[in-house]
Amino acid sequence: MGETNRMILTFYLLFATAMIDVVLARRRYYQLFVTNEDIQPDCIKLNISRQSTVLINKQFPGPEIRATIGDILIVNVYNQLINNEDLTIHFHGVLQKQTPQMDGVPYLTQLPIKSGENCSYVFRVQRIGTFFYHSHIGLQSMTAFGSLIFVDRSNDKIIRTRYNYTEERTLLLSDWWHNDRLHLEQGLLAVPFQWLGEPSAIIINGKTMFNSSCETVNGAGYSVINVERGHRYRIRVIGATTLSTLVFGIEKHKLLLIEVDGNYVEPLSVSYLEIASGQRYSFILDTTNQPIKNYYIQASIRWRLVKPNNGIAILRYKSASLVNKIFIANQTFSLPKETVEYLTNKLQPLTNFTNNYNGGKVPRKSNQEFVLAGGQAAFNGTGIQWVVNNNSLMLEKLSQPKSALEDVYSNNQLSFKTYVIKKGQVIDIILQNLVGAGGVCESHPWHTHGHMFWEISYGDGVYREKDTHLFAHPFLRDTTMLYATSNAYFQYVNSTNHNKPCGWKKIRLIADNPGLWFVHCHIVPHMLMGMSIVLEESKKDIKMVYIPKY
C-alpha cells in the first residue's frame, strides 16, 4: 500500500472510530428555561421590582447537572427573559476540547441567545470533578447558576473507598444585593461608572436571613444540610459569588480537603476554606465523634472593607432537636481574618492517581512567557475601567455579526487584541496585580477558560524573573486568587507601599486546546468593566466538532 493510501485509510479508521464512539456514547439531556422571577432569598421583601432577577427553571440555585465521563451532555437553553436581554451559559471548568464553540462566552465563542430564542450546548464530558454552570451575560450570574458534577465509576470508586464516604452534599455560595440587578449592571457600564457597592447578604444554597428580624426559630430561613452521626460525607463547595471572596467553615468540624477545581489533591485537614468567585473544593466531613446537634455552617466575606456577616446555613444531625438553638446572624463562631496566599504552595496533586492531567507531570520549563498586568485606568470618553496591560476588553459591547471564533476560523481579522500561543508550547503567564485608581490593592480571582494551570511561583511587588522560585509540588486549578500581597486591601492606604504594585503569581499551562479562550478576573463587575484578555491558541488547528444531539 502506498504511503498516501495508508494515510487516507488511517484517517478513515480514526474518523470511523471517533464516529462509533460518538454514536455509542450515552446522551444526557437537560432543559434549562431561563426566566425573570421575583425572589427574596434573604427573607427581606423590598419595595422595588425584583423582576430582573434571572432564574433557571424557576430554581435558586438552578438544577444540578450531573454526568459521567464519556457522556455526551446536551443542555437545551431557552431564553425566556423579558426586557430583550441576551443570554449565554458557560460551563465553568469544562475544557471544551474540540468544541470551543460551546464555551458560552458572548461574541467570543458564540453570538448571544436572543430573548425568545434557544440554543443547545452539546459536548463530551472529559474530566471528573466539581464544576458549575452560569450565565456569562451582565450580572445575571448573581442568581443564574447551578452545580455541574462529573463522575466516573472507576475513579470515583477509588476515591470513595479511600475516604470511605457514603453520601455527597453540594453547597453553592453566592452574594445578593438589595437593588435591582439590571440597574446595578447599567451603573457598571455607565460613563462614569457607578460601583454596585457591597452585597447585602451571603447566600448558601439559595437562602439566608438578612438579619434576625426574620423568623429565627428552627432556622426556617436557612438552608439545612442533613447528616447522620457516624458517617463520612463528601461536601462539594462552589464559589458562585458575583463579587465576594469568602471564608467558609462548619462549627466544631474539621474539613479534610481532597479536591480543588476538579483535581484531586493529597488530603489536607483544615479548619476553614477560602473560596473566591469561580473556585470549587471538595472536603470530607466526618460526623463520627460529634454530639447530635445543630451546627452553624458559615460563610463570611474577606478582602473587602464592608462585610455583611449573614451567610449562614445549618448542619443538622439526624434526631437533633429542632428547637435547641436559635440561629442569629452575626453571632456565629468566628472565622479567621484575611490570610495572604491561603493555599498557595500548600497542596500537592494526589499521587498514583491514574486520572491526573498530563500524567501528573509538571513541565519543567516554558517556551513562552508573558505578563498580564491587571489594574484600573482612566480613558477619555469612558472614564475609569478595569484593564489588563492597559487595555479594557468588554466583550458584550462588541456586538459583532459573527462570533470571534467563527471569524478566526474563516481567517478574518479580529476587532480586538489577542495573546497568541502555539500548539504544544508550555506557556507561563505572570498575573501582575496593579494598584487601583484609589491607590489601593484588591485581590482578583483569575480564571482561564479552556485550560487548567499549575500555580508555580508568587511574590511581592513587581515581578522580576530572578524572583521566581518554582514550587516543589505545583497543583492544578482553573481559578487562582491573585492576592494583594504587599499589604492587605484594608491596610493599603495607610501603608508605605501606597501606590506600589501589589504582588504577582506565575501560572503554567500547556497549549493543548486550540480555540479562543477567555481569561479574566472572575469578580463579575471587574470582568464587565474590561478586566479580561483572549488567548488565541493554535488558530490553524481549531476544530469545532458538532456532535449530533440524537
Interacting residue ranges for Cu ion, rule: CB under 5 A: 444, 521, 523, 526
- CB neighbour list of residue 123: distance below 8 Å, 6 or more residues apart: 72, 73, 91, 94, 96, 99, 102, 547
CA distance 90 to 454: 22
Q: DSSP class of residue 154?
A: H
Among candidates 284, 255, 313, which has minimal Cα distance to 166? 284
Tell me how far, at minimum, the Cβ of 221 lies from Cu ion, in Å.
Answer: 31
CA distance 84 to 88: 13
Tell me how far, at minimum, the Cβ of 371 lies from Cu ion, in Å.
Answer: 16
Tell me how far, at minimum, the Cβ of 440 lies from Cu ion, in Å.
Answer: 13
Nearer to Cu ion, 100 or 530 (CB): 530
Tell me how far, at minimum, the Cβ of 532 lies from Cu ion, in Å.
Answer: 10
CB count in 10 Å sphere of residue 18: 12
Cβ pair 118, 76 in contact under 8 A: yes
End-to-end CA distance of the chain: 37
Tell me how far, at minimum, the Cβ of 527 lies from Cu ion, in Å.
Answer: 7
Cβ pair 181, 188 in contact under 8 A: no
Cβ pair 486, 441 in contact under 8 A: yes
Nearer to Cu ion, 428 or 442 (CB): 442
Tell me how far, at minimum, the Cβ of 379 lies from Cu ion, in Å.
Answer: 18
Residue in this structure with the C-alpha cell 453570538, named with its chain if needed:
111
β-strands 444-448, 453-459 pairing? unpaired
Nearer to Cu ion, 146 or 445 (CB): 445
- CB neighbour list of residue 336: distance below 8 Å, 6 or more residues apart: 247, 271, 272
Helix (H, G, I), strand (E, B) or coil at 376: strand
Taking phi over 0 as left and psi of -120 to 50 as alpha, with beta for the rest, 206 belongs to left
- CB neighbour list of residue 487: distance below 8 Å, 6 or more residues apart: 441, 495, 497, 502
Nearer to Cu ion, 130 or 479 (CB): 479
Nearer to Cu ion, 474 or 525 (CB): 525
Tell me how far, at minimum, the Cβ of 445 lies from Cu ion, in Å.
Answer: 7
DSSP of 397-442, one letter per residue?
GT--SS-HHHHHHTTPPPSS--EEE-TT-EEEEEEEE---TTS---
Nearer to Cu ion, 476 or 524 (CB): 524
Among candidates 428, 538, 523, which has minimal Cα distance to 139? 523
Nearer to Cu ion, 44 or 371 (CB): 371
Tell me how far, at minimum, the Cβ of 444 lies from Cu ion, in Å.
Answer: 3
Nearer to Cu ion, 444 or 506 (CB): 444
Nearer to Cu ion, 205 or 433 (CB): 433
Nearer to Cu ion, 136 or 526 (CB): 526
Tell me how far, at minimum, the Cβ of 160 lies from Cu ion, in Å.
Answer: 36
Residue in this structure with the C-alpha cell 470511605, named with its chain if needed:
164
Tell me how far, at minimum, the Cβ of 385 lies from Cu ion, in Å.
Answer: 12
CA 260 → CA 129, 263, 265, 311, 452, distances in Å? 9, 5, 7, 22, 11
Tell me how far, at minimum, the Cβ of 475 lies from Cu ion, in Å.
Answer: 22
Cβ pair 505, 457 in contact under 8 A: yes
Tell me how far, at minimum, the Cβ of 141 lies from Cu ion, in Å.
Answer: 15
Handedness of CA 37, 39, 41, 42 (dihedral sign): positive
Nearer to Cu ion, 237 or 431 (CB): 431
CA 161 → CA 24, 54, 382, 464, distances in Å? 29, 40, 56, 45
Nearer to Cu ion, 452 or 481 (CB): 481
Among candidates 48, 85, 30, which has minimal Cα distance to 178? 48
Which grid coordinates are listed for 493?
Answer: 492606604
Nearer to Cu ion, 259 or 442 (CB): 442
Tell me how far, at minimum, the Cβ of 244 lies from Cu ion, in Å.
Answer: 12
